[in-house]
Structure 1
Amino acid sequence: MKKGLISVILITIMVLSLLVGCSSQQTNAKKDENNEKEVKKDSIVMAIGSEPDGGFDPVIGWGRYGSPLIQSTLVETNADMKIVGDLAKDYTVSEDGLTLTFNLRDDAYFTDGEQVTANDVVFTYESSKTSNSIVDFTVLDKISAKDDFTVEMKLKKPESTFIYSIAKTGIVPEHAYSKTYGDNPIGSGPFKFVQWDKGQQLVLEANEDYYGTVPEMKKVTVLFMTEDTALVAAKAGQLDVAMTVPSLATDEIKGMTIYKAATIDNRGLTLPVVPAEGKKTEGGYPIGNNVTSDIAIRKALSYGINREKLVDEVLNGYGTPAYTESDGMPWFNEESKIKYDVEKAKKILEEAGWVDKDNDGIREKGDQKAEFNLIYSSGDSVRQGLALAATAQAKELGISIIVEGMSWDEIDKRMYEDAVLMGWGDQNPMETYLLYHSSNKGQPNYYNPENFDNPIVDKYLEEALKTSDQEKANELWKKVQWDGKTGTSALGEAPWVWLVNVDHLYYIREGLDVGEQKIHPHGHAWPLVANLRDWKWTE
């Protein structure tokens, strides 16, 4: 027997033993008729991925991809991605966009009984600024408590997207914070931390003193396991929720159904938009590509790749076509959607002078073959599948793509001259700014390796950040994608060929209502439980 298989079996036995121990302590449980799990109507056991690096500390980024659960946030986003109050009853933004004032509720308490005050908010943000948090706080100049329940933030410059960062930042107690806070956190959110067995499980309980609606799920157990192991445990009837992937989602499990969460967890091709002229980045890596720098190549690929076919063949139907980095969000421009049209793609190429002179199946323009490299992370089977499938479709257009898997260390060096199968997707329009603003071109941060630079787009991006009106900002983000003449979508300059949005998949026990989900961001795990306080059993 292979060593890897033995490890999976041993882990599964350990997990099942742990679950049996947990379930033996449950009372008032009803046995599910379809399998062996004792279903308690006010508790849940789930396997949704790995535990967060650094534990459950918002100061270093816990809650970035969903909700901090244990902690409250000043504001939050609802299912429509609108900003609504949480700890803050309301907030105002000054006319110049530089001052944000939050009026806090006075009935919020940490689970140790201490009241949440403005000082805790100030402490949280001041600590986050210096902690190398994965949430960006560089625009925050200073924060102060005007009184016990009023917080004022001063920004270095207007930034309309900062409110979305605020919505992801849980508030920690100044009096109970330490370097080990993430191991045993205290918060004022809908759930109370009970225990964390590292590498095994997290146990939460409903916070009965929560200022909002107390969750119906009184006990929540989150198990940390791979999709393969979770599938085994789900089949054994020991889980209510099990995260899975398209390649495993074909298995039928009695008493459970596949739940598809819509996402902006996208995949696409970055295409260098400047020619190779011997230039290099500050790190010494070559810039530019003589094929992808021709807009006709980029547009032809945009129209000539059948995204629906990619969803069906690579994702087993679990996904949707992608047209931008923000499909379905309030700042998405519906005009950016284009129809698959292979004849239009061929016409674009021919009108631009790309023809197959020697009948070898590859078009040429002068002495330049329509051929380029496409690189992807070699450990990612989905990206590999998408790269190969897109390559096969490009061949029908007369474009040759050479696919190569490699480490991210190697991709770092080659992404300025070669196409990359990349993925993004954030519940914050700041991502649009980072992807396309000219200030990011050539930087080692993956955002603009294609060296895209459009002054009109820059202007929209800068105006969108400066405005204090979210609706006005959304209209400007939409113009970034297409304003009728130019933009970042396939209708404009097409620095990306967006391919698909990957559904997030979960086996969920029948009778469990996971509420109205937000569109999930990049990262398949914690986004599912962002609304955990609304979950309930219906049967």
Structure 2
Amino acid sequence: MTMPISGTLSLIAFSLSLGVSTTALAAPKSEIVLAIGGEPDEGYDPLLGWGRYGHPLFQSTLLTRDAQMRTQPELAKTWYLSEDRLTWTIELRPDAKFSDGSPLTARDVAFTFNHAKTAGGELDLGVLELAKAIDDTTVKITLSQPWITFSDFLFTLGIVPADSYGPEYARNPVGSGPYEMVSWTEGEQLIVKKNPYYFGKQSPFERITFLFTGEDTSLAAAHAGQVDVVSVPATAADAPPAGFKQIAVDSVDNRGMSFPMLPDEGKTTPTGNPIGNDVTSDLVIRQAINLGVDREQIVEVALLGHGTPAYGPADGLPWSNPEAALSFDPQAAQALLDGAGWAVGSDGIRSKDGIRASFPLIFPASDSTRQAIVVTTAEQLKAIGIEAVPQGKSWDDIERLMHANPVLFGWGSHSPQEVYSLYQSSVGGQGYYNPGFFSDPKVDAHFVSAQAAESLEASYPHWQAAEWDGQTGYSGKGLAGWAWLVNLDHIYYVNECIDLGPTQIEPHGHGWPITSLIQNWTWTCD
């Protein structure tokens, strides 16, 4: 996950750095300004996770997806998986070059995959045995076991140059993507220009400036006509400035409450962070919360209607199970709590064995949308006798507290691998994945079957069974490792002279998914 930047650049500073209002002139322009989210804390290195929630921009991937999410070749000309599902053989296009003019070969692809496995970033390539260049345009990628979601890396892992990759790469990337870096002022802005060696469709925009500003500053810049595209929270989504149009993009970008699954026994992580919570470790509490939240109301109140209820981490995608959805039923929630001995006290909050049904509900303090979701959820939970206390924290604090307190996280991916990472026992406590240490052998067994399937399509029933197999699963009907609440619409204010073209269903917002098809953007005003 990335850590949002709350920029405080003044509009005067914008004017000085950009020189002219972006909407003042309707003439064709070759430079545009975007304020579409925070900068990645780890920089622009695909080996550390850059690009996994969208296209990496500076780099190319082996495969890509069009606006209808259909597979398209990018660096790869052909690709196939062996019958034993252990070897990918990929033939590359011969004309690809990096932005420094050097050729991109199979050696660079092999280097990228092999080093991504050991880079220590957000990518899990544990099943990769070896990537090997057979010749300049052929690479073989061998796995230690069948792992159907490994195919996701063909779409998301940007290829880096073997000869020049080094410790400073994240802040000075060289790639074969549509753009190359001009300058990066951390915490303020990134300037990129078109890569003259890019082999694909060229964008009409020669230069793009990305502003790393907070929500209020970005909106003020839009009203002043100093940006061309700005992402906006739901709370500000219905009043586009003059000269802008509102674009709503469907997404699988969800928000959900993580639950610490273990009781507080004084245990800590290797870095000393506390583990466990005596309230949320009770299954009845977790199930009652899932029954007692009115997701429709959260969408209307916190998102002003710009979203949909969420019941799992991949709603609407073919590997999710619609049978896992729960209806809002506060009476059933209260009956569960009553039956388990969680008695209502004089203050309306339940307790059991001297433990109050109370906990902090943490959210990133810089995110107004998550704050609205948390406040609305907390109000609803009071009705069933559970006290969730909203607490806005920095990402550093969240990382320290997330194994012992519920946190409102955001996820959403084009791959079922994310479901695996959120619920697989062995991933518990690793980074931001599975922060509550969810663990269940039946769910793990379904994951094993899914990963061993002969195709991604054949794996779908196994992912669905992991969510709910009729008796148990990770969903709110089963072990309730999370309370998934909403799926967000992604809202943008876009200069009325810019046509974004068809857009993809977007994943989680980190990584600027709106730029995935940036080559198709056009300026429509004369």
Query: How far apart, in 1, do the equivalents of 2:253 and 2:391 lie?
Result: 22
1:118 aligns with: 106
1:494 Cα deviation after fit: 1.3
2:217 to 229, 234, 237: 229
| Matched residue type, 1:14 | A
Q: Which residue of 2 aligns with 1:17?
A: 16
Say whether the 8 Å CA contact 1:377–1:383 is kept in structure 2: yes
The more displaced of 521-530 and 456-465 is 521-530
Which is worse superposed, 35-44 or 257-266?
A: 35-44
**Which of 298, 301, 304 matches 1:310?**
298
Aligned counterpart, 1:505 = 491
TM-score w.r.t. length of structure 1: 0.84
Establish whether residue 45 from structure 1 lines up as the match of residue 52 from structure 2.
Answer: no
Does 2:511 align with 1:522? no
Which residue is equivalent to 2:324?
336
Using a 3 Å threshold, how does the CA distance of structure 1 residues 403 and 510 change in structure 2: closer, same or farther? Answer: closer
Deviation at 1:372, TM superposition (A): 2.5
Structure 1 letter corresponding to 2:483: V
The residue aligned with 1:203 is: 192
1:165 aligns with: 153
Amino acid paired to 1:397: I
Deviation at 1:305, TM superposition (A): 0.8
1:371 aligns with 2:357: yes
Structure 1 residues 14, 457: CA separation in 2 closer, same or farther (over 3 Å shift)? same
Gaps of 5+ in 2: 1-6
1:304/1:341 contact within 8 Å kept: yes
Partner of 2:468: 482
| C-alpha deviation, 1:55, in angstroms | 4.7
SS at match of 2:10: helix
Q: Does 1:461 align with 2:447?
A: yes
- 1:64 is the counterpart of 2:64: no
CA contact (8 A) 1:292 1:372 kept: no
Structure 1 residues 519-528 or 91-100, which shifts more? 519-528
**Equivalent residue for 2:73?**
85
Structure-2 residue corresponding to 1:299: 287
| Secondary structure at the counterpart of residue 234 of structure 2 | coil
CA contact (8 A) 2:233 2:369 kept: no
Preserved CA contact (<8 Å) 1:227 1:242:
no
* Residue in structure 2 matched with residue 259 of structure 1 by the alignment: 247
Counterpart code for 1:456 = K
Q: Which residues of structure 1 form unaligned runs of 5+?
A: 1-6, 24-34
Residue 408 of structure 2: which of 421, 428, 439 is its match?
421
Residue matched to 1:450: 436
Secondary structure in structure 2 of the residue aligned to 1:517 = coil
Q: CA deviation at 1:184?
A: 5.1
C-alpha distance in structure 2 between counterparts of 1:378 and 1:54, whole Å:
18
Q: State how far apart, in whole Å, the 1-side matches of 2:27 and 2:159 are.
A: 33
SS at match of 2:37: coil
Deviations 1:350-405 (A, max 9, x none): 4555554x66534456x466613133146244444333322221121233334445
Give the whole-Å Cα distance in 2 for the aligned partners of 1:126 and 1:22. Answer: 46
Three-state SS of the structure 2 residue aligned to 1:45 is strand
Paired with 2:379 and 2:339, the residues of 1 have a C-alpha distance of 23
Shift of 1:457: 0.8
Question: Is the contact between residue 375 and residue 411 of structure 1 (CA under 8 Å) also seen in structure 2?
Answer: no
Write the distance in 1 (CA, Å) between the matches of 2:71 and 2:192.
Answer: 29
- With 501-510 and 54-63 compared, the bigger mean Cα shift is at 54-63
Which residue in 2 is equivalent to 1:401? 388
Identity %: 41
For the pair 1:389 / 2:367, whether they are aligned, the reply is no
Query: 1: distance between equivalents of 2:403 and 2:166?
Result: 42
SS of the residue corresponding to residue 491 of structure 2 reads strand
Partner letter of residue 257 of structure 2? L
Contact 1:264/1:327 (8 A) holds in 2: yes
Q: CA deviation at 1:438?
A: 2.1
Preserved contact between residue 504 and residue 524 of structure 1 (Cα < 8 Å)? no
Q: Is the 8 A contact 1:36 1:236 kept in 2?
A: no
Maintained 8 Å contact 2:450/2:459: yes
Alignment partner of 1:533 is 2:519: yes
Pair 1:79–1:491, CA change in 2 (3 A): farther
Change (3 A) 1:364 1:129: closer
Letter in 1 for 2:127: V
Cα distance change, pair 511–477 in 1 and its aligned pair in 2 (3 A): farther
| Cα deviation digits, residues 439-460 of structure 1 (max 9, x gap) | 234x353433434332211101
**Higher-Rg member (1/2):** 1
Residue range with higher mean Cα deviation, 417-426 or 502-511:
417-426
Q: Distance in 1 between matches of 2:347 and 2:172?
A: 65
Number of equivalent positions? 515
